[in-house]
Amino acid sequence: MADNDKKPGASPALVHSEEVLERFTKASDRVTMGRKTYGLSDRAFMFFFLLPSLFILLFLVGYPFITLIRSGFYNFSVLRAATPAKFIGVGNFTFILTDPFTWERFIFTGKFVILNVLVQFLLGVGIAYLLQKNFKGRSVVLTLILMPMMLCPIVVGLFWKYMFNTEWGIVNYILSIFGIGKVEWLARESISVYSVIIVDTWMWTPFMILLALAAFTAIPKYLYEAAEIDRASSWFKFRHITLPLSAPVLIIAVLFRMIDSIKAFDLIYTLTGGGPGSATQTLSFDLYKRAFQYFYTGEASAYGVILLLVIMSLSLIFIRYLNRLAAQNVRR
Amino acid sequence: MKAIDGVNLNVESRSFVVLLGPSGCGKTTTLRCIAGLEVPTDGKIYFDDRDVTGLSPSERNVGMVFQFYALYPHMSVLENITFPLRACRVPPKTIEEKVKEVVQIFQLKDLLKYKASILPPGDQQRVALARAVVRDPGVLLLDEPLSALDEKFREEMRSELGKLQKRLGITTIYVTHDQREAMALGDVIVVMRDGLILQVGSPQELYEHPNSIFVGNFLGTPGMNFVECRYEKGSLVLKGTSYRLKLERQDLIAHLVPYEGREVIMGIRPEYVHVDGKLKDGGLSLEVVAIEPAGRYRLIDFLIGEKVFRVRTDWELSLVPGRRVGLQMREDRLCIFDKESGRAVVS
């Protein structure tokens, strides 16, 4: 029965033809569909609700992603979009991977990430441990501690840049009160890395604290009571009860910080601009340079793909470990 | 609001003491105070001659089994058992020896490598016991350890625990709300209610000479019967009947002198009432209301006044609801309680 067979008002107005209904309804739905119903079945409803999200996913994520991968194989620049791009196969990839400068950036990023995450982990876990017990003013302290994380990264980078200013920055001023000479926080190559780490730590340790605290709080109190009766010292309890039982959450937190550190851009851009020289250029920053300063779009695309693969493989290692931990908890 | 008030208790070395009472009576709080997990607002706790009131649990040398075992879930059985020894940095050789002992006692050899959290409750409980006992604590504390087990298993474990305690000779304090457990396990039972100790004594003492209606009712399955009576010149007149129970016992009569003409509560246990098919003149006769089979015995329900009166008897007599039978109470097992205070006048 085609739609055009129906004259308006001639029969109970089915919104869709039988064929359309067939596609969208299960047999059980069809039983109720025999009556006069206007509108869609549940299934169809669901489909149409999902449609906008699917569009967004497709066009804002899927399409650019595929374009990115494609661009990596071409000698292409957005500045010269008119001239047709030359297909150069894996040329971009080999160039990047054999460039000594890239490897310098790689090693630097590695050092930066490891140090950054380590400091944040130790600080975060330590502070969370201290915050476990309820004390007067605890909620105020917690709120204050979480504030740095809530700030806009660009703003954080900018005002720390002022604070770190060698001549008139407040940090050096406070140091001078203690008789310590001026420190070239952002101007000296050897120190600039640590300055970035300090700011990143200041901003993101609260994240670690939050997750660690949540993990610690989830551990049942009676385990600590049993340990107390078993004469365990505070350190023994921490090492054998707190840490192992909060390990899954801590690993996730470390993973997050690691990925974020590899991608670190906004703080570096505002604090040092990658400098002095190229002292604080992480892989992300290098990518930014190639893509938006030199406009080597093809090369940058390949770079992006490599970076993505690096992050994915590192994450996989963590996730594998997490799965192994979870599997051990299966009941006999 | 006080959780426990005026608890004064002496526990003999190597004895098995049961803290018994309904939920919220303060027994667990008392246990935790002994363990050092709670600090009493005032009062003192002594282990032998040592004042331990200010000491933390780790300084008291106690072993404890929690109601839900509190095993370290991520550790294996072996690691759980060795935890208290490792925490004190006991040399590995000693650890080995102690573990061997304990594994032998609790038969844990096959379980050692398994993760504690995946074991069934019965096994978990054995592990919890092993862990509590492995470093020879001065006192063993158990907080309703059998409550998470099903009935059949509970009976098994009950006898196991009793034998174990005798074998190890550790002073043990056991908390429970199950009076059968208490009766089966305890050398001494401490009945508690609303933060107070009601009575302390051996199971037999408490069973036969309860000092209050609560204790008489709480112990025994089924509990004691309580009948309102009036005492008149050497006899008890049961309220709701015309029956006069003439008292022979001199000690009963002596204690009841102040109650002349007043109401008292008489207590008698179901198993101390004899049922007779023949009705005696001047004897107590009641109509059978309900019959409940209970294994070897039957529980017969009668009504005295408005209240149910239960009698335990064997299967000899054929009984049906509605039949009138004669009842005789054993006077030597009679208890009399004050109606207002609930305390025993004589028992």
pLDDT tens for each residue of B136-173: 888 999 999 888 788 888 888 888 888 888 888 889 99
The mean predicted confidence, pLDDT, of chain B is: 87
Provide the percentage of residues in chain B whose pLDDT is more than 90. 19
Q: Residues 299 to 338 of B: which have CB under 8 A from any A CB?
A: none
Of A219, A230, A239, A246, which to mutate for an interface test with B (greatest number of B Cβ within 10 Å)?
A230
Considering the domain architecture, whether residues A151 and A274 belong to the same structural domain is answered as yes
CA B258, B262, B263: angle at the middle one, nearest 5? 120
Kindly report the CATH number that applies to the domain delimited by B16-215. 3.40.50.300
Chain B residue at shortest CA distance from A233: B87
In sequence order, what DSSP letters do the residues of B59-101 get, joined into one string? GTTEEEE-TT----TTSBHHHHHHHHHHHTT--HHHHHHHHHH
CA of B193 to nearest chain A CA: how many angstroms apart? 25
Same domain, A53 and A156: no
pLDDT of residue A87: 80
A110 and A36 belong to one structural domain: no
Tell me, what's the pLDDT at B346? 74
| Residues A302 and A239 reside in one and the same domain | yes
**Tokens 């034998």 label which residue?**
B163
Question: Quick check: A239 contacting B, CB < 8 Å?
Answer: no
B64–A226 CB contact, under 8 Å: yes
DSSP conformational letter for B212: B
- What is the b/e burial string over B160-196, where b = at least 16 CB atoms within 10 angstroms of the residue's CB? ebbebbeeeebbbbbbbbbbebbbebbbbbbbbbebe
Within-domain flag for A115: yes
A331 CB near a chain B CB, below 8 Å? Answer: yes
Q: What is the pLDDT of residue B56?
A: 86
Residues of chain B positioned with their CB less than 8 A from the CB of A223: 70, 72-73
Cβ-count burial of A64 within 10 angstroms (0-12 exposed, 13-18 middle, 19+ buried)? exposed
Domain boundaries, chain B: 16-215, 225-346
User: B260: closest CA among B230, B227, B298?
Assistant: B230
Where a domain ends, among A16, A48, A64?
A64
Class of domain B225-346: mainly beta
Q: How far apart are CA A155 and CA B185, in angstroms?
A: 70
Among the partner residues B68, B72, B115, nearest to A241 by beta-carbon distance: B72
Minimal Cβ distance to A229: which of B35, B68, B114: B35
- C-beta of residue A308 within 8 angstroms of C-beta of residue A260: no
Between chain A and chain B, the number of residue pairs with CB atoms below 8 A apart is 66
- Assess whether A301 and A237 both reside in one domain: yes
A107 plus A17 within the same structural domain: no
In sequence order, the 6+-apart residues with CB closer than 8 A to the CB of B295 are none
Residue-level pLDDT at A13 = 53
Number of neighbouring beta carbons within 10 Å of residue A320: 10
pLDDT number for residue B316: 84
3-state secondary structure of A274: coil
Q: Show the low-confidence residues of chain A (pLDDT under 50).
A: 1-11, 331-332
Residue A141 near residue A209 (C-beta atoms within 8 A):
no
Would you state the pLDDT for residue A18? Answer: 67
Torsions phi, psi for B13 (to 5 deg): -60, 140
Is A75 a domain residue? no
The verdict on residue A27 lying in a domain is yes
Q: Does A234 touch chain B (CB under 8 A)?
A: no
Q: Which domain holds residue A199?
A: 94-327
Let me know if the fold of B16-215 is the same as that of B225-346: no
Q: Do A117 and A314 touch, CB atoms closer than 8 A?
A: no
Q: Quick one: which of A101, A102, A91 has its CA closest to A298?
A: A91
> What's the domain count of chain A?
2
pLDDT of residue A213: 93
Please tell me whether residues A130 and A234 are part of one structural domain.
yes
Same domain, A18 and A112: no
Ordered DSSP codes for A230-273? TT--HHHHIIIIIHHHHHHHHHHHHHHHHHHHHT--HHHHHHTT
Q: B-chain residues within 8 Å CB-CB of A332?
A: 114, 118-119
Q: A129 with A18, same domain?
A: no
Low-confidence ranges of chain B (pLDDT < 70): 1-3
- CATH number where A270 lies: 1.10.3720.10
At B173 the pLDDT is 92
